[in-house]
């Protein structure tokens, strides 16, 4: 099948590369010539484990190519998959300008039937806006959008992505479910054909109305964010009453109705999805006069939780941190990515800097992106490895649960820190074990 993916960012590249891997003929379009130049020269503009190898193999096989030519890309694919960004607007709503621009580009260039797929995370009602935008462009050209051989027609489909950063290739190739929101049989047939390789073992495809499909994506991320914030609130209570949140987690997670997924206490969620999607879903509800009080609480709890590590540091070292130096392990909002959007590390670092402290940071993937955000500054240094970050630091602060941080040499930590103090924002270690080594330990929800 010939497929065009509009937008060569995270979702677009992963989707395009994986669809090409299945044998499809895929063209990825982006209006950013810098990004397309990187891809055409063998590079990958984002970090995602395994993605570079999939892209290179399919480019070499001739199944995947990249272009800035709109007319060429629209002419290419029966399926036009819109995978552009939908950043948060000032009011928390999803900014659809790039989605609508892509729709208009399709309407201006199409000369035959197209299935236009909303892959971007979009609020309920976006498909209607995409239809309107395409139709307006066809009207300008004096074309009748009826389904016929001589005249172009189109269908709009909602096909939300459920990709986790750091595991996106596996998520795409082994999906829990494939959600298709469509309202005509022709579009459904095309989508079933495209996703047929995933149906051989068992039926993963769910066909529903478009608005339900659009809502499903936001509902899924909002549910996961709710679990995280709920556990973080319980963790804060556990500290007050002298309980251990890890024991509580195991106790409630063993209930099959609850399970263990997204049931870990920590120092808050970040990234490009949960914060943005929670805000957008809240905004959609407000537009219909139905404020989502639970999601407001989820957002408030998360905003506060990002400062929990900072408050622990202040309680230990005082409000004035001038002259203090801290080692920071982890900059990305989660392991397996270089994404520091709305990451807790930023709240911690900026809070330390504002109080006069300096930081040496290490992250396996996100230091380049951190440099891009903060530039070069005297109060931020970067280490080549976790051990080097410890040198002459007053304490170690762990923000991201990278595997490389889970089994450190505690003797090295004690030797390199000025004083053996660890602030563990992801509960990587057992407090009793660390304290037995003569290290002062501060976790999340694990202190009386």
Q: How many CB atoms lie within 10 A of CB 360?
A: 19
Q: Which of 303, 326, 344 is the last residue of a domain?
A: 303
What band does 144 get if pLDDT is binned at 50, 70 and 90?
low
User: Are both 315 and 299 inside the same structural domain?
Assistant: no
Q: Tell me which residue range forms the domain holding 389.
A: 306-442
What band does 237 get if pLDDT is binned at 50, 70 and 90?
very high
C-beta separation of 85 from 35 below 8 A: no
User: Are both 81 and 179 inside the same structural domain?
Assistant: yes
What band does 152 get if pLDDT is binned at 50, 70 and 90?
low
Number of H-type helices and E-type strands within the chain: 18, 14
Q: What are phi and psi of 31, to 5 degrees?
A: -85, -5
The per-residue pLDDT for range 263-319, each reduced to its tens digit, is 999 999 999 899 999 999 999 999 999 999 999 999 999 999 999 999 999 999 999
Q: What are phi and psi of 90, to 5 degrees?
A: -60, -30
The per-residue pLDDT for range 331-353, each reduced to its tens digit, is 999 999 999 999 999 999 999 99
User: Are both 256 and 338 inside the same structural domain?
Assistant: no
The answer to whether residue 131 scores a pLDDT higher than 90 is: yes
User: Are both 98 and 150 inside the same structural domain?
Assistant: yes
Q: Which of 180, 208, 236 is the last residue of a domain?
A: 208
Q: SS3 for 373?
A: helix
Task: Tell me which DSSP letter residue 44 carries.
Answer: -
Per-residue model confidence (pLDDT) at position 54: 97
pTM of the predicted protein model: 0.92
Q: Which of 270, 303, 336 is the last residue of a domain?
A: 303
The angle at the Cα of 223, spanning 222 to 225, to the nearest 5 degrees, equals 65
User: Are both 170 and 78 inside the same structural domain?
Assistant: yes
The enclosing domain of 55 has a CATH number of: 3.40.50.720
The enclosing domain of 243 has a CATH number of: 1.10.1040.10
| Residues forming the active site | 273
Out of 150-159, 170-179, 246-255, 272-281, which region has the weakest mean confidence (pLDDT)? 150-159
Tell me if 84 is assigned to some domain.
Answer: yes
Tell me if 342 is assigned to some domain.
Answer: yes
C-beta separation of 345 from 400 below 8 A: yes
User: Are both 291 and 347 inside the same structural domain?
Assistant: no
User: Are both 199 and 267 inside the same structural domain?
Assistant: no
Per-residue model confidence (pLDDT) at position 122: 94
User: Are both 255 and 176 inside the same structural domain?
Assistant: no
User: Are both 417 and 371 inside the same structural domain?
Assistant: yes
The answer to whether residue 228 scores a pLDDT higher than 70 is: yes
Tell me if 448 is assigned to some domain.
Answer: no
User: Are both 224 and 272 inside the same structural domain?
Assistant: yes
Number of separate domains in the chain: 3
User: Are both 203 and 126 inside the same structural domain?
Assistant: yes
User: Are both 240 and 163 inside the same structural domain?
Assistant: no
Tell me if 39 is assigned to some domain.
Answer: yes
Which residues have a Cβ under 8 Å from the Cβ of 183 and sit 6 or more positions away?
155, 209, 210
Mean pLDDT of the chain: 95
Tell me if 447 is assigned to some domain.
Answer: no
Q: How many CB atoms lie within 10 A of CB 149?
A: 7
For residue 121, give Cα distances in angstroms to 150, 277, 363. 33, 8, 28
């Amino acid at each position: 099948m010939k497929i065009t993916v509009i937008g060569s960012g995270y979702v677009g590249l992963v989707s395009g590369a994986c669809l090409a891997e299945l044998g499809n003929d895929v063209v990825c379009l982006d209006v950013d010539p810098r990004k397309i130049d990187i891809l055409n020269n063998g590079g990958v503009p984002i970090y995602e484990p395994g993605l570079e190898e999939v892209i290179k193999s399919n480019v070499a096989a001739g199944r995947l190519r990249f272009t800035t030519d709109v007319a060429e890309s629209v002419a290419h694919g029966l399926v036009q998959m819109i995978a552009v960004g939908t950043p948060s607007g000032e009011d928390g709503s999803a900014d659809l300008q790039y989605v609508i621009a892509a729709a208009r580009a399709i309407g201006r260039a199409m000369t035959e039937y197209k299935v236009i797929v909303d892959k971007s995370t979009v609020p309920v009602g976006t498909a209607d806006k995409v239809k309107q935008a395409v139709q307006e462009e066809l009207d300008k050209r004096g074309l009748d959008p009826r389904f016929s051989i001589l005249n172009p027609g189109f269908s709009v489909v909602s096909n939300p992505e459920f990709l986790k950063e750091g595991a996106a290739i596996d998520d795409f190739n082994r999906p829990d479910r494939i959600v298709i929101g469509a309202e005509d049989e022709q579009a459904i047939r095309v989508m079933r054909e495209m996703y047929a390789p995933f149906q051989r073992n068992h039926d993963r495809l769910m066909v529903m109305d478009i608005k339900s499909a659009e809502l499903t994506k936001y509902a899924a991320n909002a549910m996961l964010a709710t679990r995280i914030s709920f556990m973080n609130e319980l963790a804060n209570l556990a500290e007050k009453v002298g309980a251990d949140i890890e024991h509580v987690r195991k106790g409630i997670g063993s209930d099959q109705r609850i399970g263990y997924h997204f049931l870990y206490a920590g120092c808050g969620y970040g990234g490009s999805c949960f914060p943005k999607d929670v805000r957008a879903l809240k905004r959609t509800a407000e537009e219909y006069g139905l404020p989502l009080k639970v999601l407001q609480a989820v957002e408030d709890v998360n905003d506060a939780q990002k400062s929990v590590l900072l408050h622990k540091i202040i309680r230990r070292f005082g409000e004035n941190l001038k002259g203090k130096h801290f080692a920071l392990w982890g900059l990305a909002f989660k392991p397996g990515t270089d994404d520091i959007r709305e990451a807790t590390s930023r709240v911690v670092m900026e809070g330390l800097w504002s109080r006069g402290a300096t930081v040496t940071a290490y992250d396996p993937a996100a230091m380049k992106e951190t440099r891009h955000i903060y530039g070069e500054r005297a109060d931020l240094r970067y280490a080549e490895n976790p051990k080097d970050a410890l040198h002459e630091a007053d304490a170690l602060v762990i923000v991201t649960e990278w595997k490389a941080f889970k089994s450190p040499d505690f003797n090295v930590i004690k030797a390199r820190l000025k004083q053996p103090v660890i602030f563990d924002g992801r509960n990587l270690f057992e407090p009793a074990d660390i304290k037995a080594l003569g290290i002062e330990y501060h976790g999340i929800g694990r202190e009386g």
